[in-house]
Structures are given as structure tokens and as C-alpha cells.
Amino acid sequence: MNGCSGEKERPVQAVELTRKHVCVVCGMILVDFPGAKGQIHYKDGKYDVFCGTMDMFTYYFQPDTSKNISAIFTNDMGDADWKTRWIDAKKAYYIYDTKKSGAMGDPFQPYLQEERAKNFTGLYGGEVLRFDNITPDMLKPFQEPHLKRKK
């Protein structure tokens, strides 16, 4: 319900990306590159968009990022037409640290269905995680290229 008016609040919807949408972290035009994207929507109606899940999680974990989040979306990489298939990022299954990565070397590839995520790891390696299992420490080897990644 919306306050005293008795009206139900509408669920937040992901925005469809156009050339005007640039990543809040790096400034890339989102529609120009393949791979998973991200959106964080806030209770005041504003939102931020991200060129990949790496930037989305990096931004999400920043101490000064608004915690008045109403929704987080990402793409289902298991969908043949992932550009239009936005899913709730907190319900996704993420493949972490696979041999195959997106446009920006994203270590987190989201899938709506756990089975599809597991099939992908069977082909390309990696670990299937849920949103709440991802930590800032998992981002560091990918943010700091001078660190040697463990494989």
C-alpha cells in the first residue's frame, strides 16, 4: 500500500537500455558491448546502470552508495535474447571466476535458472553462487590487475 491513499505501489521495472545509458562507474555506452548489465533502482525513483556485473557489485559494496535500494536487476545470460530479459539480481545464480568472461572480464555471469548455470560451469568452469554469497573480497583480484589470480 502507498501511505494512506490505499493504492498499491507498483513494482519497480527495469529500464530498457538505449544509447543514452552510460555506466555510472566507467562511462561506457551500455548497448555497445555484449554481456550482462546491471541496474540499481532507489526508493526515490532514480537509478544507476552498469556495463557489467563487476561494476554493479563494486558500486553496490561501496560504503557511500545509497542503501535505499528498491530493486536490482541484471540480465539472464541463459536467455538467447538476454538484451531484453531483465531479472531480479538477488534471485539470480552467478557463475564466479569462469574461463569465459563478458566484455569487461566480468567474474560474475548471472543466470535465472540454476540448471543452466551448472551446465555452463560444466563447460567453462567456475562456481555457482547466489547474490548474498558474493563478497567485496571476490572483486579484488579482478579490480587489481597487478595481483596474481589463483587458478
Q: Report strand pairing: 69-75 vs 38-42.
A: antiparallel
* CA 144 to each of CA 48, 51, 140: distance values in angstroms, whole numbers, following the listed order: 23, 18, 6
pLDDT band at 151 (very low <50, low <70, confident <90, very high): very low
Given a cut of 60, whether residue 21 has pLDDT beyond it is: yes
Instruction: Answer for the pair 44, 68: CB distance below 8 angstroms, yes or no.
Output: yes
State which H helix or E strand residue 142 sits in. helix 136-143
Given a cut of 60, whether residue 34 has pLDDT beyond it is: yes
pLDDT for position 79: 73
Main-chain phi, psi angles of 127, to 5 degrees? -130, 140
Q: What is the mean pLDDT of residues 53-71?
A: 90
pLDDT band at 2 (very low <50, low <70, confident <90, very high): low
Given a cut of 70, whether residue 122 has pLDDT beyond it is: yes
Instruction: Answer for the pair 1, 8: CB distance below 8 angstroms, yes or no.
Output: yes
pLDDT band at 26 (very low <50, low <70, confident <90, very high): confident
Given a cut of 90, whether residue 73 has pLDDT beyond it is: yes
pLDDT for position 99: 75
Contacts of 4 by beta carbon, 8 Å cutoff, 6+ apart: none
Given a cut of 70, whether residue 144 has pLDDT beyond it is: no
pLDDT for position 71: 97
Q: In whole angstroms, what is the distance from residue 15 CA to residue 137 CA?
A: 29
* CA 137 to each of CA 9, 46, 61: distance values in angstroms, whole numbers, following the listed order: 36, 28, 10
> Side chain identity at 98, as an amino acid letter?
T
How many C-beta atoms lie closer than 10 Å to residue 3's C-beta?
A: 7
Rounded (to 5) percent helix, strand, coil in the chain: 25, 20, 50
Q: In whole angstroms, what is the distance from residue 88 CA to residue 134 CA?
A: 15
Given a cut of 70, whether residue 148 has pLDDT beyond it is: no
pLDDT band at 46 (very low <50, low <70, confident <90, very high): very high
